[in-house]
Each structure stands twice: as structure tokens, then as C-alpha cells.
Amino acid sequence: MTIYTNIDMDMDTRIDTLGEAKIESPIAKELNGSRQEIFKDDNERVLIELEAKKITEAIQEGTTPPSFELAGPRKKIYFDPSKLKCALVTCGGLCPGLNNIIRSIVLELYHSYGVRHIYGVRYGLQGFIPEYQHDVRDLSPANVVDIHEMGGSILGSSRGPQDIEAIVDCLERMNIGILFMIGGDGTLMAASKIDASIRQRGLKISVIGVPKTIDNDIHMVSKSFGFDTAVDIATGAIKGAHKEAEGYPNGIGLIKLMGRYSGFIAATATLAQQDVNFVLIPEIDFDLEGPNGLITKLQERLAQRKHAVILIAEGAGQKFFESHKAEYDPSGNIKLHDIGLFLKEQIQKYFAARDMEISLKYIDPSYMIRSLPANSNDHVYCTFLGRDAVHAGMAGKTNMIIGHWNDHFVHVPVPLTAGRRKHVFAGNKLWQTVLEATGQGSLVNP
């Protein structure tokens, strides 16, 4: 569930193209006049803002409410499939659904468009750089048919920036026409830079992104693949923590989930399995002690019910480490301090000082969740994303991602989303429902 506020009614949603699409789509030939309604036109749009009042105000002011271009196959395509070469790359952390996206793209390119030259670039952006000597993998239906049953990515991944000009050099040497980049915010920013270099050189290479983040924090995308699987598996951890907590006097189940900057997984999993009593996410501040502090409320809960379950996102509570020196990973992200272990130690220390016996079980399923295969919902979702990415690339569109907005798959310009994140807002329905389900109230002292 995502609720946006303050949508910019003047945002630029135009999609760049390499040139006029003049070639009749093989899909059109195959249909031979039947089911032509599957084709979409660039003039078919999906409104970004659905609130009637704001739409009416925009029209009264003489402006057109912002909208996204509808995704789907076009009657005319830009690339000649018989001569086209495509490359796929997966970047950043692992996420359920990566193999599903790869499979979907390959099958659509091969069977619907007749593209026979499809390459998988190994180990993220490193695969474009000669010094790493990573091989390139040929992709065909035969070698991707079962990969959706496996977790991870058959192409591997890596973190960290690589030389943009060297990447474009590699694309030019390989004579690539469409580059599919599957990754998160850092990957999207790299995609935008790659596209800029391609244009500067006057090359005709389409760059299509498929947004990937298990945290579901991609700006202007209502849901990212892997999120549904993450919530699904997280509910199992909550069930286990709840049973462990119930099984002992003053039992505490403490679970740490993914969520560097946004708490969508923790909040949604709480509503999916309503055995959680305290939810801590990066967007909502909390104190440890004091009248409203977490540990004080936890002590009250134990006195009343003899057990409690705490769910914490990995990016929550980083204020408690402000005295520590900041460190960064190869992608430039600040390395988070382990709030889960910190909280475990603080809780144990607090109750030990008061001679109060507790039984605390700490669960961190994060990396298990990241590397698992996608569930059924995510598999279907990835199928749509991958196939629509192919349709966009074949039509010659570039510097864009396939997103999902207002129940439609749409084309979103990379500059509109890269470098920005979406968050759980304190006043939106998701967080308010979490507060109602847990009854935790404010954890910030007056």
C-alpha cells in the first residue's frame, strides 16, 4: 500500500526515443488482424494523481494533469529483430524475482520478436570492464526455462560504480542495441549516465531499466518485485518469534527485517501477521527509555501479557550510533550499524539491572529472504515487468523504467525516479493501521 502526498502537477513524464519506429511488429504479423487491442499507443496515458479535487484544480488552471505512458506492445518497432543484439545485467543486492525477470525478458525477445542474440553480462557492471575478465553468457529459452525456480541471479551481481565510458565502449564493441538493467536506485542513476554517454556519442542504444529493491522504496513506482515475497517470508519469522515469546515467562521475540531507508516490509508484514506489538522503522523516531520509550513500554507490556514481539527495520534507530565514524559500502551507501543486536543488548542490560528475568529470542532472516525464489504473486508480476521492458526497448524507447502505477504498467522516465526514495509517512493509512494493530502509540518522550 502506497500513499503519495504533494505530487508535482508539473512533472515531466515524457519518454525519450531513439527515432521513429517504422518496422511492423512481428506480433502484429502473427495476430494477422485479430486481437489488435493488445497494442498500445503512446497517447494512451495513466493519470498519476487520482484525487478528483486536484485534477479539477489543474484543469481549471489550464494545465494537463500529469500522466504516464501506458506500457505494452506497439504496432511499429524501431529495431530489426533479425539484426538486433541485446544485453541483460543484474546489479546490487540479491532479491527474489531476479531470475524471473531474466527469464521473462529472454522468452519475450526470443519467441515474440524473434531476437536470437541475447547476452547476459556477468557480475553486474563489472562484467562490462575488461580488467575483471568476466565472461558473457548466451541466453536462450533452453537455458532460462527453469531458472525462476531458483533464488539469486544466474548472472550474478556486484556493487559499486564502474567507469561509464568503459561500459559504453563495451556496448559499442558488442554492437548491443538494447541494454536491460535490473537494479535499484544506484543502478538507475548509472543507467541515466550510460544513456547520456550513448547520446553524446550519437549511438542508437536503448537503455531500459527494471526497478529492483526488496525494500519497495523506488520513487514513483507503487510496488517493486520481490517485496511480496519478502513480506510473505517475514510473516513466518513473526509466527516463530511469537510462539517463542509465548512459550516463556517474559518472553520477547525480536526480529530484524530489511528496510534501509523505508519501512514498508516491516509495516506490511505487521499487518499480514498481527502478532507484533512494537514496530520500529527508519521514518518514525523512537526513544529507548523515559515515559514513552520503547523499553519502558515493553516493560509495561510484559507486566500485562507476559510476552511481546518487536519488529525492527534495519535502518531504524541509527541516531543511537551518531558518535560512531561513518563508513560506506562500494556503492557509496552508508554502512548501517546493527540496530537489531544493539537493541537486543540494551533490552537485556535494562532488565538485568532490575533483576527481572526475560527470555529474548533474536531472529534475523534478511539474507535468507533476499536469496529465495519469488513466490507466485511476484512471479506473475515479474512476467509483466520483463515483457513490457522488451516491448519498450523494441519500440526504441530509452532512459526509462517499467513501473506500476494506479493498477497499470507504465513507462517512467529514469530522471523522474533516480536519486529519490518513497517513504512510509506518519499520517498515511499504512502507518496509522499499524499503530491500530499494535497499539504501541508514540515511542517518543514528550
Catalytic positions, written as ranges: 215
- Count the neighbouring beta carbons within 10 Å of the beta carbon of residue 354: 7
Taking CA atoms, 150 is separated from 137, 281, 375, in Å, by: 17, 30, 11
305 annotated to a ligand binding site: no
370 annotated to a ligand binding site: yes
Whether the CB-CB separation of 52 and 437 falls below 8 Å is answered with: no
Helices marked H in 61-139: 98-107, 113
For cell 506490511, name the residue.
268
214 annotated to a ligand binding site: yes
45 annotated to a ligand binding site: no
Whether the CB-CB separation of 100 and 382 falls below 8 Å is answered with: yes
- Name which of 90, 72, 74 is nearest 128 in CA terms: 90
199 annotated to a ligand binding site: no
Helices marked H in 162-257: 164-174, 185-201, 227-246
Whether the CB-CB separation of 413 and 12 falls below 8 Å is answered with: yes
195 annotated to a ligand binding site: no
Taking CA atoms, 174 is separated from 85, 169, 177, 203, 205, in Å, by: 8, 9, 9, 13, 11
441 annotated to a ligand binding site: no
Whether the CB-CB separation of 95 and 370 falls below 8 Å is answered with: yes
Q: Strands, E, within 100-170: which ranges?
A: 117-121, 136-138
102 annotated to a ligand binding site: no
Whether the CB-CB separation of 418 and 185 falls below 8 Å is answered with: yes
Helices marked H in 220-330: 227-246, 264-272, 294-305
Q: 209 forms bridges with which residues in the sheet?
A: 181, 401
258 annotated to a ligand binding site: yes
Whether the CB-CB separation of 106 and 145 falls below 8 Å is answered with: no
Q: CB within 8 A of 292, min separation 6: which ones?
A: 441, 442, 443, 444, 445, 446
- Positive or negative, the CA dihedral 298, 366, 389, 79 is positive
184 annotated to a ligand binding site: yes
Whether the CB-CB separation of 216 and 223 falls below 8 Å is answered with: yes
433 annotated to a ligand binding site: no
186 annotated to a ligand binding site: yes
Binding residues: 93, 159-160, 184-187, 213-215, 258-260, 314, 367-370
Binding residues for substrate: 213-215, 258-260, 314, 367-370
Binding residues for ATP: 93, 159-160, 184-187
Binding residues for Mg(2+): 185
